[in-house]
Structure 1
């Protein structure tokens, strides 16, 4: 059954990419001849053209993070069948449309954020509200993913050593390709060989530190990584990361073919599991495995500034989401194979990533790889792209913080506050607050992150729909996803605010309440645009 699930997912996703993906491109008017912002606004720091394979690696590693692993494993409490069905339907018709649409819309808006798109198509107040909403969500991303990474470092110390060496390798790769003009193919071969060497060295020289020590080191790292030029670390590390990721997925699929694990979890356990209702909690918990608002921030925050050709947006936006769907199915299978009792034991030892690494490591024994080696390799891959999501999220948080306080006007000579728009100050505030929030632990942060994340997705869907509407283009592919996600996340936030009040987590209560109010106001403003009979300009008034 497990092998059948992953194979049917791959086949369905391939068909969707060729058919539905092409239909979306046609409806939106993707133009291969248009010059992208990466070329028009090239600055060598954020706007840097990247070849499609390189940018695919960055984008996939950034959006994947720990989400498609943690989410499906946590949602498996409802049984494997509802989770599997939501991953398939969500990835194709919800997440894929959301990611592709956000990326394409941002490319058409000078590579700027979803907030900027709201400003242009809804109004200035909408942009401000969205910026607050998105920035608060990114604080939750930092809090949740930093915890996941550090737990992995503590549970599998070899991963920590390899991750540090991998950062050095990525910097060398970036200099070689971007400053020494070494051909990408040659650099890739050498880079992958050295990456294998890093893994070997890490396995034999594990660094053992406390949770708190690794937590501080991780926060310092993401500060540095999020202000450095993208060509020196972000692009090369994420590109090399993609090979780790592809190897992990390939190894997992091969292991499933040979090992043929069964599923110990039942297909459906019930609608109400220990007080958690399948609706809406399932659709919030799976998160990145089906649809994720964080993806819209990555698409419009870093990826859109690096798109070489507009035609690449389908592969990078829609294709990455479908690959992530495959990863989510594999994560679900590891939970289903391990069973409820051992699942709880492994989760308590190292979180959902430990569950995933243990399961896939076991599958890889089917083709002769030692379980400890396989588990360490999988844990490394998880931490590698979780780090990618973490520092990408921090960089985007910095963008949003700066953009929020940037009220300069070249026509009047007005200048913005130099401190509040300084990238180092904006990054410091984002990292510090996200890190403090993460002290609560990811198990407390993840549910509210999931709700905020999915509500962000609903807003992003509505944003792209308003833009398409103002362009006179078909936006019906957004209608059902955005309404469904608004309904799901409004219900989920209400339940989570109530549960946090009961448990005394008042900081999360305040954040949840703020997100709820902001989302209602944004939804109301965007809905007025969608239901108006004429386009709306950037001030929110009707255009002639």
Structure 2
């Protein structure tokens, strides 16, 4: 249990110290923000910091720090280290820079930022990559909650019925002004997510469960390698490219750059704390990774595990909170995924989103594609989401590093985690069942070489004498 509390303390201290260092490096100032200079009553709307924080937390979290952390706990308490240090040095930096750079570029989406700093080819790649990823997220987080709702309601209300209801909600949440629906509902569910985590942590400690200490051996019941599989599996609990698509949503609603650390870095640290709690709960409640693996199989996935843990630790009230979490949280991720996809496409094709007619032109096709994909086996979609998610994080970090260098700021706070995630992403796709299925003897060296090449290209292109910003960059500031 000591390891758990040490990691929890490191997360908090990491926000206070390293978060402050990242903030000083970026140098936020008093310039007007897009929310005040481009207010349109739809996407650019000033909101209060507490509301923005809770919306950002729910946007980036959903079920990520719960499901990913529980799956990551199959490797044992060594996952605590990745959640802790991944959050501080990779995830928090990624989310902060994605949000702040977006704010400096009129709240533009991550694909456009990548294009400005990494070139037109990468812009095209990221546009396609982002839209595909966001539609996959929206689809997965429509189908899962629909199935759960069908289990809890009379037979007449089957999964197809609830799928229609969820997609109808997505339509509204994607279309209407951000403060009218998301701004009112999200803070409530954000509080539920935090309360659920605190309750589970308290229950584990008070009822005397033993949280194992960190061990550096692989405890996965199937012997699955820690590298790179654990680093892909945990995802949102440490770093996630999906967050880079979400931070610009709140970058369009903030009234001061100086609130960025509290909103972007702070929400990621909060998510890391939630992930740490659920990883600890998984191995403690089921007394090891073997028991956790058996429970995941017996209960039909992490959703069943969440329900059983909450019901056992917190009683009927806990069961209600758990169901709110496993149903509302994924829906909240799904609706902002489609909303982000709308904004990526509108930035791509320069479509004015102030008029409802033009919002409909983008929203309806997106949701139609999502409805069609919902008929595909979700496990297939999810496998490809996991890799594409971390690959997007890698690209976003390289773009952030380029931004820092072109603004004559030392880029290593972004370049180092970008190099690490390059190795993770490449090694995984070479080894994974949905990838090339190569052995570790080939995949490990190839991943290291790929990361070294990425770093070398960055050094060659950007680490010469600090270049002044060209006109294409300057006009976007």
TM-score normalized with structure 1 length? 0.76
Deviations 1:403-448 (A, max 9, x none): 223389xxxxxxx9x99x9322322222232343343344332222
2:239 counterpart of 1:291 = yes
Deviates most, 238-247 or 393-402 = 238-247
1:74 is aligned, of 23, 48, 71, to 71
Query: Is contact 1:75–1:83 with CA below 8 Å preserved after alignment?
Result: yes
Correspondence for 2:10: 12
The residue correspondences of 1:49-198 to structure 2 (distance < 5 A) are: 49-79=46-76, 81-157=77-153
2:310 counterpart of 1:360 = yes
Correspondence for 1:395: 339
Cα shift at 1:360: 2.9
Q: Is the partner of 2:227 in helix, strand or coil?
A: helix
Correspondence for 2:430: 494
Correspondence for 1:165: none
Alpha-carbon separation, structure 1, partners of 2:83 and 2:24: 25
Query: Is contact 2:115–2:121 with CA below 8 Å preserved after alignment?
Result: yes
2:402 counterpart of 1:466 = yes
Query: Is contact 1:121–1:536 with CA below 8 Å preserved after alignment?
Result: no
Correspondence for 2:322: 378
Correspondence for 1:171: none
Cα shift at 1:264: 8.3
2:277 counterpart of 1:335 = no
Q: Using a 3 Å threshold, how does the CA distance of structure 1 residues 472 and 501 change in structure 2: closer, same or farther?
A: closer
Deviations 1:97-117 (A, max 9, x none): 101111111111111111222
2:193 is aligned, of 245, 253, 275, to 245
Q: Is the partner of 1:48 in helix, strand or coil?
A: coil
The count of corresponding residues between Structure 1 and Structure 2 is 456
Structure 1 runs of 4+ off > 4 angstroms? Answer: 263-269, 345-348, 519-529, 538-541
TM-score normalized with structure 2 length? 0.86
Query: Is contact 2:419–2:452 with CA below 8 Å preserved after alignment?
Result: no
Q: Using a 3 Å threshold, how does the CA distance of structure 1 residues 330 and 151 change in structure 2: closer, same or farther?
A: farther
Cα shift at 1:271: 7.6
Q: Is the partner of 1:276 in helix, strand or coil?
A: coil
Deviations 1:317-355 (A, max 9, x none): 111111101111122123212253465445554531221
The residue correspondences of 1:407-422 to structure 2 (distance < 5 A) are: 422=358
Alpha-carbon separation, structure 2, partners of 1:207 and 1:105: 49
Alpha-carbon separation, structure 2, partners of 1:230 and 1:257: 39
Alpha-carbon separation, structure 1, partners of 2:190 and 2:14: 22
Cα shift at 1:527: 6.9
2:377 counterpart of 1:427 = no
Alpha-carbon separation, structure 2, partners of 1:208 and 1:269: 49
Deviates most, 117-126 or 94-103 = 117-126
Deviates most, 467-476 or 119-128 = 119-128
Cα shift at 1:266: 9.6
Alpha-carbon separation, structure 2, partners of 1:60 and 1:111: 18
Q: Using a 3 Å threshold, how does the CA distance of structure 1 residues 140 and 269 change in structure 2: closer, same or farther?
A: farther
Correspondence for 2:171: 223
2:31 counterpart of 1:34 = yes
Cα shift at 1:58: 0.5
Q: Which runs of 5+ in 1 are unaligned?
A: 158-205, 365-370, 409-415, 503-518
Alpha-carbon separation, structure 1, partners of 2:133 and 2:123: 15
Q: Using a 3 Å threshold, how does the CA distance of structure 1 residues 259 and 207 change in structure 2: closer, same or farther?
A: farther
Alpha-carbon separation, structure 1, partners of 2:25 and 2:212: 44
Q: Using a 3 Å threshold, how does the CA distance of structure 1 residues 29 and 210 change in structure 2: closer, same or farther?
A: same
Correspondence for 1:22: 20
Deviates most, 219-228 or 49-58 = 219-228
